[in-house]
Amino acid sequence: MKRILSTAPGFNPVFLFLLLCIPIVAHAQDFVWTPGLQRAYADLQKLKVQSARQTLAAETGQTGIRIFLDDYADMLLLVTSDDDRAFTTLGDREDDRLSALKKLDDNSPWQRVLLAEVRLHWAFSKLKFGKELSASWDVIRAYKLLSENQKLFPNFLPTYKSLGTLHVMIGSVPDNYVWVANLLGLHGNIKQGQQELQRAQQDPTFRLEARLIDLMIRAYVVKFSDSDGQALQQLVSEHTDNLLLHFFGATIEQKNGHSEQALSYLIKRPMGLAYQPLPVIENILGDIYLQKGDYLTATSHFRQFLATYKGQNFLKDSYYKLFLCQWLSTNQTEMQAQSFLKKVLAVGRTTVESDKAAQKFAEAYLKKGASPNQKVLMRARLASDGGFTDSALAYLRPYNEATFSLTTEKAEYNYRMGRIYQRRNDPDAAIPYLNYALTLSEPDQLSFGATAALQLGYIYQQKYDRTRARSYFQKALSFKHHEYKNSVDNKARAGLSQL
């Protein structure tokens, strides 16, 4: 062939070289991070979605990176707004973008990673809109793409950001569903996933996202330590113009009973028209001021959330919290407070745990009412959950267990006292309260028993008593029906894996 070409009339070997290089050059351009695409990704990570879209519009060509970033922008819009109409409008774009990515160079380590990222974007969005089955299939396909990429390109670091996240999720699957995961070919555990996320942080492109995911897993799946809190503070302080980090920093700290620190992140958050609106921040601020006992300020934030939010999640939770603001305030009537509970039953959906808890409370209260003691316990609960332990103890000091007549109230009283002392770094004082809460809760499978067992597992884990820690984590898993089962079970399984 070489001889024929070299002797053909008018043959130009340079032309042949260029002809052969055309597909190589085209493939090479499929996954290039141009300076513009890097700026767009940085803006998306800050929640500067409009600025990122403008930068993307100026980019020429429909490369794999461009497709990924366009999809990332849509995902941020959907999950921050919870807007059903936007979800309906944008829903067809998943298949279009997957088809476009499949046409690009499958010899590049980027192709499968970006196919998986798009699938995970839509899985996250679908979960927010109650499309659990479709979201599950997206997760499964993303896992298979990332696993294949790991085998083909074991040293390609971007693979490990999402693969590590999925391995943590798989390791958190409830025991009675492990066989389903195995049947679908999903394998992994929490420790493996955390190690992969650590590895992903060596990649300059996805380093920030991997660091944030790692901290969120420590907060929501395993035990969030003081050193984790310090790492989070450093991360937020290094990115003062990043709204997403301030938001997640606040949710992580609030989740772990540090609401004053969460409030600090939100007060210092960057604001302005450059950023994607985040109405849910008003809901979080309402929570914090409710925990502080500032019911007037809390009410203002919950009302602002309801006025600006377009979705269906957190509606029940917000009306429930408005009820609490009225119910716990001394100058409001019972009738005024109950009107908010009726709204709880009439609006929203029960996809997230806080809405499920609000629904359960509203149904029980409107059916049976509440004893005066429940106000005391609620004030103590809110203050303790926020880390305001001085206030929580002040609420409970005038009372003892004999004050409460109902078993549920006795169980809650003991659980609250145990958590207060645990948060005050006095585990030995906490243990008898938590143990008795567990004993009282077991016959009726009350949620206080599951959460008390989980906290006892943590206490004995810190005491290096592996036998007792394992026993309590297993006890937490044994509670079958309560509104916090998913989160408690995830943390208990993570505790067992660490042992």
Whether 244 is covered by a domain: the verdict is: no
CB atoms within 10 A of CB 133: 7
Are 110 and 60 contained in the same domain? Answer: yes
User: 336 CB contacts (<8 Å, ≥6 apart)?
Assistant: 326
CB-based contact 213:196 (threshold 8 Å): no
The reported pLDDT for the residue numbered 28 is 52
Domain-ending residue, one of 124, 141, 158: 141
385 and 365 within one domain: no
Mean pLDDT along residues 106-126: 96
What tokens appear for 76 in the block? 């941020």
Say if residue 109's pLDDT is above 70: yes
Q: DSSP label at 114? A: H
In a domain, 327, yes or no: yes
Exposure class string for 14-46: b at 16+ Cβ within 10 A, else e? eeeeeeeeeeeeeeeebbeebebbeebbebbbb
How many domains would you assign to the chain?
3
Are 40 and 80 found together in one domain?
Answer: yes
If asked whether residues 298 and 325 sit together in one domain, one would say yes
**For 51-55, 180-184, 190-194, which range has the lowest pLDDT when averaged over its residues?**
180-184
How confident is the model at residue 190, as a pLDDT?
86
| pLDDT tens readout for residues 132-166 | 899 999 999 999 999 999 999 999 999 999 999 99
Q: Which two tokens stand for residue 426?
A: 């006095």
**Contact yes or no for 482/450 (Cβ under 8 A):** yes
Residue 192 inside a domain? The answer is no
Residue 182 pLDDT = 67
338 shares its domain with 394: no
With a cut of 50, say whether residue 420 has pLDDT above it. Answer: yes
Considering Cα of 416, then 422, then 426, then 431, what sign does the dihedral take?
positive
Same domain, 50 and 137: yes
What are the counts of helices (DSSP H) followed by strands (DSSP E) for the chain? 28, 0
Q: Which pLDDT value is given to residue 308? A: 93
| Residue where a domain stops, chosen among 84, 118, 141 | 141
Average pLDDT rounded to a whole number, residues 84-97: 93
Distance CA 60, CA 203 (A): 26
Q: Which of 354, 384, 377 is nearest to 257 (CA)?
A: 384
What pLDDT, on a 0 to 100 scale, did the predictor assign at position 14?
42
Residue 170 and residue 256: Cα distance in Å, rounded?
Answer: 23
The tens digit of pLDDT for each residue in 386-416 reads 999 999 999 999 998 889 988 999 999 999 9
The answer on pLDDT for 2 being more than 60 is: no
Are 403 and 298 in the same domain? Answer: no
Q: Are residues 411 and 473 in the same domain?
A: yes
Does 386 lie in the same domain as 334?
Answer: no
For 443-452, the pLDDT digits (tens) are 999 899 999 9
The pLDDT of residue 270 is above 90? yes
Judge whether 281 lies within some domain: no
**Residue-level pLDDT at 15:** 39
What's the confidence (pLDDT) of residue 378? 94
Percent of the chain with pLDDT over 90: 70
pTM of the model: 0.85
Confidence of residue 13 (pLDDT cuts 50, 70, 90): very low
Tokens of 64: 């794999």
Of 110, 141, 172, at which residue does a domain stop?
A: 141
> Is residue 33 situated within a structural domain?
yes
Q: Which residue has the tokens 């992903």?
A: 200
Domain extent, residue 310, equals: 288-345+352-370
Compute the mean pLDDT over every residue in the chain, rounded to the nearest whole number.
Answer: 89
Q: What is the phi/psi pair of residue 465, to 5°?
A: -95, 85
Quote the pLDDT of residue 146.
97
CATH value at residue 442: 1.25.40.10
463 and 366 within one domain? no
Q: How many CB atoms lie within 10 A of CB 480?
A: 9
pLDDT band at 22 (very low <50, low <70, confident <90, very high): very low
Task: Assign 24 a pLDDT band (cuts: 50, 70, 90).
Answer: very low
258 found inside a domain: no
Position 3 scores a pLDDT of 37
Torsion on CA atoms 237, 304, 73, 145, rounded to nearest 10? 80
Domain match, 336 and 434 both: no
User: What pLDDT is stored for residue 33 in this prediction?
Assistant: 95
Same domain for 33 and 52?
Answer: yes
What pLDDT is recorded for position 19? 36
* CA 479 to chain CA mean position, Å: 23
- Domain membership flag for residue 17: no
Does 323 reside within a domain? yes
> Which pLDDT score, from 0 to 100, does residue 491 have?
86
Distance CA 176, CA 171 (A): 13
Say yes or no to pLDDT of 195 above 80: yes
- Render pLDDT for 458-495 as a digit per residue (tens, 0 to 9): 999 999 999 999 999 999 999 987 777 878 888 888 88
